[in-house]
Structure 1
Amino acid sequence: MGTTSSGRKGEQLAASYLKRKGYAVIANNYRRTHGEVDIIAKDGETLVFVEVKSRKNRAFGNPMDAVNPVKQKRLQFMARQYMAERELCHVNVRFDIVEILWGDTAKQAVKIHHVKNAF
């Protein structure tokens, strides 16, 4: 499984996971010139911008380690753009990360770790 393929599968898995947790998924892969938000969802009255990071192992650290300050600023910019397009000004906003660690074999379980209010 290539990185693009595993990334898309990870985003699909994360969206399903969030739905099971009661989130309403509004958008997948919201793209504009300056970036992308993997998932936009509602958790009650809170608008949640979700970054999904998946890896096959922790050789290069935890998946969420890849959401560095530069990536965080880009996600915040994208959130402002999404909200401006929809004239959303008085809503609660949160940034979450969903980490996915793929198992080495088909029998090994996938691990999902959801970090609410990650930054």
Structure 2
Amino acid sequence: MRAKDALGHHGERVAADYLEDRGIRVIDSNWRCASGEIDLVALDGDELVIVEVKTRSSRRYGDPLEALTRAKLARLRTLAVLWAREHQRVIGPLRIDAVGIILDRHAEPSVDHLKGVA
């Protein structure tokens, strides 16, 4: 596995633990289809939450959440529908969240969770 991929997977695990600690239940991760990928799928009460995780080893090149684009956020809505269809779920309330992770090996992970970004 490439170092960049390993960093991303580690960040997704940190994000999942962070969400679970706050009562948001992660029900799927790294779901892929021909149209793209969803990092995490979770439930916050009865609300389906699609979570985009951005991980960096430092802020040297900016904050991880600065890498989110409008196009990516729009694609996540489409992916949410495709995920729900594949898992035979009816989409009620839907929220798109973003989690930025800094994994500096000399410090505890830094987590920035933005709810309802799209």
Q: TM-score, normalised by structure 1?
A: 0.90
RMSD: 1.4
State the alpha-carbon separation in 1 of the partners of residues 114 and 30 from structure 2: 19
Q: State the partner residue of 1:115.
A: 114
State the alpha-carbon separation in 2 of the partners of residues 104 and 84 from structure 1: 39
Q: 4+ residue stretches of structure 1 with deviation over 6 A? A: none
Give CA deviations for 1:27-67 in whole Å, capped at 9, x if unaligned: 01111111110000000110000000011122322111111
SS at match of 2:61: coil
Q: State the partner residue of 2:53.
A: 52
SS at match of 1:80: helix
- Tell me by how many angstroms 1:80 deviates: 1.4
* Structure 1: gaps (5+ residues): none
State the alpha-carbon separation in 2 of the partners of residues 50 and 73 from structure 1: 13
Aligned length: 116
- Tell me by how many angstroms 1:11 deviates: 0.4
Q: TM-score, normalised by structure 2?
A: 0.91
* Structure 2: gaps (5+ residues): none
Structure 1 position 94 matched with structure 2 position 95: yes
Q: State the partner residue of 2:40.
A: 39
Identity over aligned residues, as a percent? 34
